[in-house]
Amino acid sequence: MSPEDDKEVLIRVRGLRTQFGTHVVHDGLDLDVYRGEVLGVVGGSGTGKSVLLRAITGLERPAAGRIEAFGTEVLTASPEERDRLDERWGVMFQDGALFSSLTVRENVEVPLRRIAELTPELRRALADLKISLVGLPYRAGDAAPSELSGGMRKRAGLARALALDPEIVFLDEPTAGLDPIGASAFDELINTLSDALGLTVFLVTHDLDTLYATCDRIAVLAEKRVLVTGTLPEMLEVDHPWVQEYFTGPRARLARDAIRTDTNTEAD
C-alpha cells in the first residue's frame, strides 16, 4: 500500500482532454489532489497549467474526461450541485482579477452575497475579517483596486477567494510580478493560512522559490499530461530532460540554497 492510499482525494481527474480548435492542450491527463496538501502544478509555457485549473473549477469545458470534486462529477453537475461546489472552493486568479468598479471590501463581499441570510452589516464585517486575515490593513477595504500595489491586489484577491471559508483554494501564479521580498511574504502567507485553516491548496506557479517554500507535492505537466507527481526530492530523480533542467538548473540550486539558509537560521 502506497502512502497515498491513506489520503482523502478531494479532486480526481481522469482522462482529461482539453483543446482549442485543433490545438490539443491536454490528452489523457490524470491527477489526484489530496486533502490538506499544498500541490504545486508546474510545466513549460503552453502546457496548460491555468487551463487545467479552469477545467477543474468548471470555467473551461474539456473535450473529454472526468473531473470529480468532493464526490461530485463536475462536468455533469446540476446547477444546485455546482452552487455547492462553488461554496467549497475559492479561486484567486492572476493579479487578483478584482472588479475595478468596486472597492476591495465590495469585491470580497461578492461571494458572500450568495448567502441570503447575511445582513449587509454582517457581510461587511465578514469581508473586513478576510481582509485582515490576508494581512491587509483595515483601510484597504475602502480602496479601489487601482489604488493598491500589485502585492496588495493579490492579497485582496486571496481574501475574496477565502470569503466562503472554502476547503480548497486554487491559486494561479500568486507570486508572478512580485519583487523577491513580496513573493517571500506571500509564500509565508500561504503556509500560515494552509496550516491555520486546514486548507488544501492547488498552486499553479513557475516560481521555484515558491515551490521550495510552500509545496508538499509537485505535479509536472509535460507531453499533454501529468508526466509525474511527487515531492521535491523525488523530482530530482526523474529521468526527463525538462524535469532535470527545471529542478537541477542554476535557479533551482539558488532556491534550494535559500531554503537551507532559512532553515539553518531558524535552527540557530
With H, G, I as helix, E, B as strand and everything else as coil, classify residue 201: strand
The amino acid sitting at 180 is P
Task: List pLDDT tens digits, range 93-126.
Answer: 876 689 999 999 999 999 999 888 999 999 999 9
Higher pLDDT, 249 or 101: 101
Q: Residue 30 pLDDT > 50, yes or no? A: yes
Neighbours of 179 (CB within 10 A): 12
Task: List pLDDT tens digits, range 202-234.
Answer: 999 988 999 999 999 999 999 999 999 999 999
> 36 phi and psi, to 5 degrees?
85, -5
Quote the pLDDT of residue 119. 94
Average pLDDT over residues 66-89: 94
Which cell numbers in the block locate residue 44?
A: 513549460
Q: Residue 260 pLDDT > 80, yes or no? A: no
Q: Residue 164 pLDDT > 90, yes or no? A: yes
CATH number of 3-205: 3.40.50.300
- Using a pLDDT cut of 90, give the percent of the chain over it: 79
Average pLDDT over residues 5-17: 93
The DSSP secondary structure of 114-143, one letter per residue, reads T-TT--HHHHHHHHHHHHHHTT--GGGGGS
Distance CA 8, CA 17 (A): 24
